[in-house]
Structure 1
Amino acid sequence: MADSLKEVVPAHMVPVPSPVPVSLSHSQPAQRVTSVLLNGRNFHAWSRSFQLYLGGKRKTRWILGKEPKPAESDPKFDEWVSDNCIILGWMFNSMEDRVYHMFMYHDTVHGLWTALTQMYAHARNESRIFELYREVSHASQTSLELSVADFFGYLQTRWEELAQYEPLSDFPSDGAVESKRLDRRHTYQFLMGLKSEFETLRTQILNTSPLPSLYEAFAIVDGDERRRRILPSLSLPESSSIVPDQRAFAAASGTHLYCQHCRKPGHLIDRCWVLHPELKQQFSRPRGGGRGGGRSGGRGRGTPRTGTVAEVDSMPANLPDFKQLQLQIAQLQSHLGLATASQSSGPTAAIVAETPTALHGPDFEEDFWQGHTRASYIPRMLRAPSAFDLIHSDVWGPSPVTALSQHRYYVTFIDDYTRCTWVYLMRHKSEVFSHFTHFLQMIKTQYNTVVRNIRSDNGREYITNEFRAELNKCGILQQLTCPYTPEQNGVAERKNRHIMSVVRCLLRGMGVPKYFWHMAVLTATYLINRTPSRVLNGKAPLHILQPASTLFPIIPRVFGCTCFVQNRSPTRTKLDDKAVRCIFLGYSSMSKGYRCYDPVTRHMYHSLDVTFLETVPFFSNSTPNPGSEILAADEPIPPRPLPILEPTSPTPTPNGSLSPVASQDPSPRAQAPLPASSPESGMSSPFVSDIPPPRSFRFL
């Protein structure tokens, strides 16, 4: 029996079999084994991913140098060479080309890993740590235009990389405390970067005790964003609230109330005012008050059925708005003796504000005639996804003062995405179609894209047959506002207001006459397109449309100031003035120069050789009359006055010749022909807002 017993061996003396090495003979050396390529700045993330992959293959000893190269006579030499080549292939295929060309001649895995570690695995990369902290501190969901999940991932990647540079092992004594402190810090950074629409939810999270962890806070905010995106709010607007406005209620469409006494619909015999005149006082509205106390006076009428609504029981605060609504409907119907919603054939009881048949119908029709108000307009808060997806347009005019160029209108085209504005001056509204076709062609040629939608009001110039035919030809969808509803075209309306506000400031600042308003409009558009906007997160419209363009190729100057333009006329002699005194009227749209106008010769100069007196207005404080300062186009140009140095009477000289002054030619100096773009040339001026098209060259 003793022989049959086996000897028990202690566990620590049982030999442990060594792990069987995994062969890589079936692996492919050309495959990529990491999710990101090594670029020199992400060595910590890349090395961790590569080590995890090698650990799964039981080949971590290769990068640690624990797999020495056997002798060529060793039977394992060929297997070692094969595994070495396969792992080298994994490493090379997980690098960017620039890094690969630096290390492509390494022959062993351990040698390559050592070189990469010495090259990129610094103990502390202070510049990278500073860059990561700066990215985290400046990160916000609004500026990055990311969802909650993407914004959290953006922060998480930078926190993980910081953890590689600053591991918790640096705090051996209080590592747990530092871990909690780090989690709270990350939670605060995540909540600070959320959009303003999460302000209420953010306050609730911060007021929670104890403070939720980072992942709990993310789950709460992400769930709220998903709910908003999938299930929009079903709450009613304040104007349709039941108790404050004390509206009338009616049963569903399937219920028909009829009084057997007065033979009138809308009530039953127990609520008939003919049999029960005391009910009329109970349900009649006070004459002096307004709706809900908000209005008073002649037009305000008291709200009916105050007695009925006063008897509605208070609703539980924790019920949803829709449940409160149904409960209030049931109570009011029960009080008025109406059929309940369960007895009606309709789905639910309908709310009919100021319904004539709610109590004693015909007497309440006056509510529609006297108290009808416009519905509140909820503005659109979304922008087009790309440039020229949506164009807003509107016509301004007629101007109370005709411009010097005979223009009385202008039309604007505003891109919804970039908010860039193009302005075309017009003498008649019928010119909108021609300017619109030119605008479409310019967008197609300069930006290699097309306009997809255009939004405007119901102006006659936008609904002509030729305008609609052009839209159908180009495949552009037209969006028209409701009649007399300018708020639906709010972008164009606000842009007109912005332009005219700047125009008034430009004219008022230097006392410029009002008949120069057309030049002020072009200058205002030029400046607005280059001014940072809060809507665009502090960027200028032109910078978004053309990121590589220069906002101000020439120095901005004070509109309406005195300037002197170099006289480059071919008829100028050595005795003529070298400069002409002009008024500065903006910036040229066709050349790199300033627009300067000489009222005496009625000539518009486009020049860069200009000297400005920005503190000296061209006109005096009193606005001159256009007829006194600027002559009509058909009147001759008067000669400039000449200085009289001597008496005008011809006095003979000792040799019998006339005096030098008397021999001067009194005829006016020859003037250069007026260009086609000048206001008085008689041609249609190509005055448009000057957004420069993208070019492959720059002015020197």
Structure 2
Amino acid sequence: MAGDQSQSSNQTIDITSPYFLTSADHPGQNFVGDNLLKDGNYSDWKAEMTNALFTKNKFCFVDGTLPIPDEGSNDRVIWQRCNAMVRSWLVSSMNKELKNIVKYATTARAIWDDLKERFDKENAPRAYELRRTITSVHQEIMTVSAYYTKLRGIWDEIQSVSPSPSCTCNRCTCNVGKSLTDMRDKEKLYDFLMGLNEEYSGIRSQILSISPLPSLVAAFHMVNVESSAFQVSGKKQQGKSWATNRRDDRSNEECAYCKKPGHTMEGCFELIGYPDWWTKKAKGSKNQTNRFKDQHKTAAVHDHKHTANLSREDIEHLLQLIKESKAKDTKPIANTTGLTLEEPDWDG
């Protein structure tokens, strides 16, 4: 018996074997950091510990797929050594209260099963709280990526607290498992779209009009591209779109000439003439604008003929009235706009 133990301890173990231990492996290793197992965080702890055990190729010691070898087997001592190592890793990842509960367990699988029996149950109050949280989460000041990441964290916790049912008979032919997964993914898509800010209403309608609906990841990329376009064009993502804010700013302006809102005298087409690209009113108003200019020109010539009988004091008085009229942005009068002769012309 002693010879078998000596032989088993001296034999070379392949690095792919679950019995292989590196020189860095020791009983006090902690694979979960500050996330020590306590009442309320079993789902997170289990996910981190499962990942660590798979990485070390030691998960078979807790799920029962590698049972203890029979008495007299060359692998029995090696199994016991690895089992003790895995057991110590589990204990090192718990808080002090839970360590006292499992300290008498002899195998890593016994500890794993005991923790599962204690904590791995559906938590209805927590599931309810998470569902209420998911309906109240909105993007607000978050970026699209940050908002999506926050939702993913809540969805993952919901899955751990209330996992989706799956087929266990291995004889299912109707793919009900895939249908349930697709249904839950569709619910996640609705959650994501409902919480987006209002400036994404256009892309949201576009996504919902696609048949069949795109996947959650595809929808996220579509919205993220829209967000990048907003940033490139300088549009602000603050409740209303840039175009809406611009229209609101201009709606408070009023032209002093035509008394219409949305522009000032400097941009009034009725005063300065309609441009060629203004197709809606170019034809109907072009002649009107030309007639308006002809009337002013005729009035100017008419007034010029009568100014010869005016004294210098009368001309200066008229010029002063014109300046005051322009300062008040009053509507120009046809019989005064023609008085635009400069003073040197009146001296000669």
TM-score by length of 2: 0.57
Distance 1:192 1:32 in 2: 41
Equivalent residue for 1:183, pick from 182, 185, 188: 185
What is the Cα deviation at residue 55 of structure 1? 2.8
Amino acid at match of 1:158: I
Answering whether residue 149 of structure 2 is matched by residue 149 of structure 1, we say no
Partner of 1:488: none
Superposition pairs for residues 608-647 of structure 1, below 5 Å? none
Distance 2:99 2:232 in 1: 47
Superposition pairs for residues 212-251 of structure 1, below 5 Å? 212-229=214-231, 232-233=234-235, 237-238=246-247
Equivalent residue for 2:21, pick from 16, 21, 24: 24
Between the two proteins, what is the percent identity of the paired residues?
Answer: 22
Q: Report if the CA contact (8 A) 1:291-1:301 is conserved.
A: no
Distance 1:368 1:96 in 2: 84
Q: Secondary structure at the match of 1:55?
A: helix
Distance 1:370 1:98 in 2: 85
User: What do the CA deviations read for 1:17-71 (whole angstroms, capped 9, x no partner)?
Assistant: 9x74441142233333347543343434433443343233332221123331766
What is the Cα deviation at residue 74 of structure 1? 6.5
Distance 2:126 2:115 in 1: 17
Partner of 1:136: 134
Q: Secondary structure at the match of 2:53?
A: helix
Distance 1:209 1:245 in 2: 47
**Alpha-carbon distance change, 367 to 154 in structure 1, aligned in 2, over 3 angstroms:** farther
User: What do the CA deviations read for 1:99-150 (whole angstroms, capped 9, x no partner)?
Assistant: 445434434211211111111122x3333332332222333334xx644333
Distance 2:329 2:126 in 1: 67
Equivalent residue for 1:290, pick from 246, 253, 259: 259
Structure 2: runs of 5+ lacking an equivalent: 1-13, 237-241, 281-322, 331-348
Amino acid at match of 2:55: G
Distance 1:169 1:83 in 2: 33
Partner of 2:272: 305
Q: Report if the CA contact (8 A) 2:137-2:195 is conserved.
A: yes
Equivalent residue for 1:167, pick from 141, 146, 164: 164
**Alpha-carbon distance change, 368 to 33 in structure 1, aligned in 2, over 3 angstroms:** farther
**Alpha-carbon distance change, 229 to 64 in structure 1, aligned in 2, over 3 angstroms:** same
What is the Cα deviation at residue 190 of structure 1? 1.4
**Alpha-carbon distance change, 218 to 288 in structure 1, aligned in 2, over 3 angstroms:** closer
Distance 2:62 2:223 in 1: 43
Q: Report if the CA contact (8 A) 2:254-2:262 is conserved.
A: no
Q: Report if the CA contact (8 A) 1:289-1:302 is conserved.
A: no
Answering whether residue 184 of structure 2 is matched by residue 202 of structure 1, we say no
Distance 1:127 1:288 in 2: 67
Partner of 2:105: 106
What is the Cα deviation at residue 292 of structure 1? 6.3
What is the Cα deviation at residue 187 of structure 1? 0.9
Paired residues in the alignment total 256
User: What do the CA deviations read for 1:460-500 (whole angstroms, capped 9, x no partner)?
Assistant: xxxxxxxxxxxxxxxxxxxxxxxxxxxxxxxxxxxxxxxxx
Distance 2:248 2:270 in 1: 14
Amino acid at match of 1:117: K
Higher helix fraction (1 or 2)? 2
Structure 1: runs of 5+ lacking an equivalent: 1-16, 247-286, 316-364, 373-700
Distance 2:52 2:145 in 1: 27
Q: Report if the CA contact (8 A) 2:254-2:263 is conserved.
A: no
**Alpha-carbon distance change, 141 to 292 in structure 1, aligned in 2, over 3 angstroms:** closer
Amino acid at match of 1:23: F
User: What do the CA deviations read for 1:252-299 (whole angstroms, capped 9, x no partner)?
Assistant: xxxxxxxxxxxxxxxxxxxxxxxxxxxxxxxxxxx9623568799xxx
Higher strand fraction (1 or 2)? 1
Q: Report if the CA contact (8 A) 2:28-2:92 is conserved.
A: yes
Superposition pairs for residues 33-48 of structure 1, below 5 Å? 33-34=31-32, 36-48=35-47
Partner of 2:124: 126
Q: Secondary structure at the match of 2:212?
A: coil
Distance 1:62 1:293 in 2: 76
Distance 2:248 2:136 in 1: 41
Distance 1:138 1:293 in 2: 39
Q: Report if the CA contact (8 A) 1:245-1:303 is conserved.
A: no
Q: Report if the CA contact (8 A) 1:239-1:245 is conserved.
A: no
Superposition pairs for residues 53-72 of structure 1, below 5 Å? 53-65=52-64, 66-68=66-68
Distance 2:269 2:327 in 1: 15
Q: Report if the CA contact (8 A) 1:40-1:99 is conserved.
A: no
**Alpha-carbon distance change, 135 to 37 in structure 1, aligned in 2, over 3 angstroms:** farther
Superposition pairs for residues 168-567 of structure 1, below 5 Å? 168-169=165-166, 173=174, 174-229=176-231, 232-233=234-235, 237-238=246-247, 289-290=258-259, 303-307=270-274, 309=275, 311-312=276-277, 369-371=327-329
Q: Secondary structure at the match of 1:169?
A: coil
Amino acid at match of 2:94: M
Partner of 1:575: none
Partner of 1:115: 114
Distance 1:366 1:212 in 2: 66
Distance 1:49 1:371 in 2: 75
User: What do the CA deviations read for 1:157-193 (whole angstroms, capped 9, x no partner)?
Assistant: 3323433433241696433333332222111111112
Amino acid at match of 1:58: N
